[in-house]
Amino acid sequence: MNEGVKHRVLFVCMGNICRSPTAEGVFRRLLQERGLEGTIYIDSAGTHDYHIGKAPDPRAIRAAAQRGVDISDLRARQVSVEDFEIFDLILAMDGANFADLRRECPKPYRERIRMFLDYAANHPEQEVPDPYFGGGQGFEHVLNLVEDAAEGLLAELSGSRTDRA
């Protein structure tokens, strides 16, 4: 990784085709808009191997595109043991994936695992719900949550967040 990288962030859901690629895409767009692409390395992965090598769900691609976010180039992968060393922040979309990550993570790196919505300022939810078995509105809701949490995450990583308890 390049010397200008100050943080390495991994977004994680179950299959890496809905929530985590959406979070990666939204955060990538934020970094581009603010001219910070080289300062934060980002990726996404799933705790399960259901969709390895596949593109995000077409509904996730469509919903993200409607907000100016292109995630069509992303491909699903599973979290690896090396990820716990490489990434200084591993963000779970929900409690089940948080528990899976904690179970797989070597003890020295467990403090790196957090809930993504801990960074959301405008939504009281604690989890990004899995939209996979629902309709298009679920993907819109995911985007609302992810956009909020991405703003908070960027503010925290850049040292400008003031609303944390």
For residue 11, what are the β-bridge partners? Answer: 44, 91
- Identify each DSSP E strand in the chain by its residue range: 7-13, 40-46, 89-92, 113-115
Pair 19, 131: CB distance under 8 Å: yes
So what's the pLDDT on residue 160? 67
- CA distance linking residue 92 with residue 94, whole number of Å: 6
So what's the pLDDT on residue 135? 85
So what's the pLDDT on residue 165? 41
Q: Which amino acid is at 109?
A: Y
Pair 16, 78: CB distance under 8 Å: yes
Q: Which CATH architecture has domain 7-157?
A: 3-Layer(aba) Sandwich (3.40)
Q: Report, as residue numbers or ranges, the catalytic residues.
A: 13, 19, 130
| Whole-prediction pTM | 0.95
Counted residue by residue, the chain has a size of 165
Q: Which residue has the tokens 């939204």?
A: 26
pLDDT in tens, the chain (165 residues): 567 899 999 999 999 999 999 999 999 999 999 999 999 999 999 999 999 999 999 999 999 999 999 999 999 999 999 999 999 999 999 999 999 999 999 999 999 999 999 999 999 999 999 999 988 899 999 999 999 999 999 999 998 655 544
So what's the pLDDT on residue 36? 94
DSSP class of residue 157?
Answer: H
